[in-house]
Chains A and B, each alone.
Chain A
Amino acid sequence: MTENDRLLLNAYIDGELDPAHALEFEQRLAEDNTLAEEHRRIEALRNTLRERLPRETASPALRRRVAALARPRPFAINWRAGWAAMAASTAAAFAAGSIAAFVALGPPGREPIPELLVASHMRALMASQTVDVASSDRHTVKPWFNGKLPQSPRVVDLAAQGFPLVGGRIDVIGLTPVPTLVYRARLHVISLTALPRSDRASMPHQPIDGYNLVEWTDGELVYWAVSDLAAPELENFAKAFRAGNPEPEQAR
């Protein structure tokens, strides 16, 4: 096989040949066994790379740090040390089990929860989809969380009130994986995250980077709604959610 043939073969596989050259090359592939063998090896390689390697994505922490670059206030450069500390405490949290992980939420000196929630919401809007499980059926979304988190949120059907369910995802807030439901209001996306209850009272929040936040406590969970929806509409959503009928607790 000449070097030129090899370049053509790769270009053919990558769809870089124009139709006339691709046709010509296909005819050669059919006749030339050496070329055809290499074609199979490269295809096998490409499939393996695609299937076996994880997609490498920026962590939420990196995303926040980069977003912070554009903030008009000085930021701490020494984030690598913070990263190591974070990795260590994540490991510790997992080791200590999920209940302990809930308790570990929001240690002092970390970014406040509203910022983390807005960052997760922004991250979700930038991803190819805002949810890990896409379903408008609460009976699909709730069990999905049950398999992954110690505590799953209420999932309420609000389609009739104008807030159809889009699905759910898991966010990591202050090192704790927490359930987030995604609803839609016209073209706006609402992220509704359930955090373990803290001893801090719920309070009204100022918008962050154009996103409104509403917070309320329900039993052992604190619910946070984040959206670019206008504040009164987001309040309506919160009211509708609180008034909505959750499904009966499922026996597990």
Chain B
Amino acid sequence: MARGDSKTRFADVVMPHLDDAYSLARWVTGNRADAEDVVQEACLRAYRGIGGFAGRNGRAWLLAIVRNAAYDWLRKNRSPAVVNVDDLEAVERMRLADDAAGTGDNPEAALIARADEAKLQAAIARLPAVFRETLALRDMQGLDYKEIAAITGVPIGTVMSRLARARRRLIEMLGADR
């Protein structure tokens, strides 16, 4: 039975990775209720497309679908500026190269270590979506660069620079004495 097969495949391939799917959607969309919408939609797409999934890495496959659903959602519900980061890249690259002169006793590290959850959430929410996504996949979900590149569909070099810039921005926001 085709129906029975896809049902079983769906349970085997998708269900074990639901927490990862939700976590990614939550960080990309920025809130939990929208993340549930996105995961529901992504899982529907996954269910319809399960026949075409032949690979072994169910998690990467599902997360790629989740991220597409999340960006569709962002495009529909947020201004384009939040989504599109290409024009930022050149400016960012220049900033990255000359920030962060050594400050001796490193008060920033101490401030960062003291940041509470609310402050962290607020800082992450201010990152562009592709930065949040890369940070979430790496620092919240522990994927390696290669997996992140496969899921987000960009070269490893782009993963590296997005991650470096996401972290740099968070350090700037959290390390600023207010």
Q: Which residues of A contact B (CB under 8 A)?
A: 1-3, 6-7, 9-11, 14, 16, 33-34, 36-38, 40-50, 52-59, 62-63, 65-67, 69-72, 79-80, 83, 126
Contact = CB atoms under 8 A, between A and B. Distances in A.
Nearest to B23: A56
A45 B26 contact: no
13 contacts: A14-B138, A38-B100, A43-B109, A49-B139, A52-B117, A54-B117, A62-B22, A65-B40, A69-B10, A70-B10, A71-B7, A72-B7, A126-B15
B160 A11 contact: yes
B112 A48 contact: yes
Contacts of A63: 15, 18
Contacts, number: 141
B70 interface: no
Interface in B90-134: 93, 96-103, 106, 108-110, 112-113, 115-117, 120-121
Nearest to B46: A69
Interface of B: 3, 6-7, 10-11, 14-16, 18-19, 21-23, 26-27, 32-33, 35-37, 39-40, 43-44, 47, 93, 96-103, 106, 108-110, 112-113, 115-117, 120-121, 138-140, 144-145, 157, 160-161, 163-164, 167-168, 170-171, 174-175
Contacts of B40: 62, 65-66, 69, 79
A83 B108 CA distance: 41
Contacts of B110: 44
A41 B98 CA distance: 16
Contact of A53 (B100, B101, B117): B117
A16 B145 contact: yes
